[in-house]
């Protein structure tokens, strides 16, 4: 368990899959992800089986939000493409429970994930890609310290339009400086 005040990250369980299927089948949630068609619970079962074969550091985590004494499942995050020689990784995150959007929970979860990545896994660089039309996500990433490195022009097709994919990253020294200032 990776715990913060308002958010915690925990290993996913098979019992979480109905949440994921519901979230990923919501067009507003899926718009910020690479999901472009309906997913069944069977699809999620197959995804889960493959995810559990990955190294422990690359297995997805459930984002839970404190609600009184309870913790409510709200989304998912995790590292992938970890390169131990270069000490770099890519990160992915989404808040599937729309009632928790625009309240800073995604930023809180990302801060916890960055702390874990830099302080526990000893990563040096954490990167991500985000669609240019996902302005809420871009602002959230900038808020926690990510900087724009570049873009893949018109690399994503969605709703009849081509969108750029923005490439962002944060380095361990930048993370450390932001925490001490």
pLDDT tens, 39-52?
A: 888 888 898 999 99
Give a three-class secondary structure readout of the chain: CEECCCEEEEECCHHHHHHHHHHHCCHHHHCCCCCCCCCCHHHHHHHHHHHCCCCHHHCCEEEEEEECCEEEEEEEEEEEEEECCCCEEEEEEEECCHHHCCCCHHHHHHHHHHHHHHHHCCCCEEEEEEECCCHHHHHHHHHCCCEEEEEEEEEEEECCEEEEEEEEEEEHHHHHHHHHC
Position 181 scores a pLDDT of: 61
What is the reported pLDDT for 180? 66
Question: What pLDDT digit, counting tens, does each position of 70-105 carry?
Answer: 999 999 999 999 999 999 999 999 999 999 999 999
pLDDT score for 177:
85
With a cut of 70, which residues of the chain have pLDDT below it? Answer: 180-181
What CATH number has the domain bearing residue 79? Answer: 3.40.630.30
Domain with 164, as residue range(s), is 2-180
Give the count of domains, the chain. Answer: 1
């Amino acid at each position: 368990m990776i715990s913060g005040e308002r958010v915690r990250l925990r290993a996913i369980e098979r019992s979480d899959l109905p949440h994921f299927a519901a979230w990923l089948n919501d067009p507003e949630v899926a718009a910020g992800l690479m999901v472009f068609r309906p997913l069944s619970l069977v699809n999620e079962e197959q995804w889960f089986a493959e995810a559990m074969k990955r190294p422990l550091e690359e297995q997805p985590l459930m984002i839970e939000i404190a609600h009184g004494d309870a913790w409510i499942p709200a989304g998912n995050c995790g590292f992938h493409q970890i390169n131990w020689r270069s000490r770099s990784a890519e990160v992915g995150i989404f808040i599937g429970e729309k009632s928790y959007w625009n309240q800073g929970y995604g930023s809180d979860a990302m801060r916890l994930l960055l702390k874990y990545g830099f302080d526990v896994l000893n990563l040096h660089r954490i990167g991500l890609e985000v669609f240019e039309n996902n302005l809420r996500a871009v602002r959230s990433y900038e808020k926690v310290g990510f900087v724009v490195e570049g873009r893949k022009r018109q690399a994503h097709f969605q709703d009849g339009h081509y969108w750029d994919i923005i490439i962002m990253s944060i380095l361990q020294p930048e993370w450390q400086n932001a925490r001490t200032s």
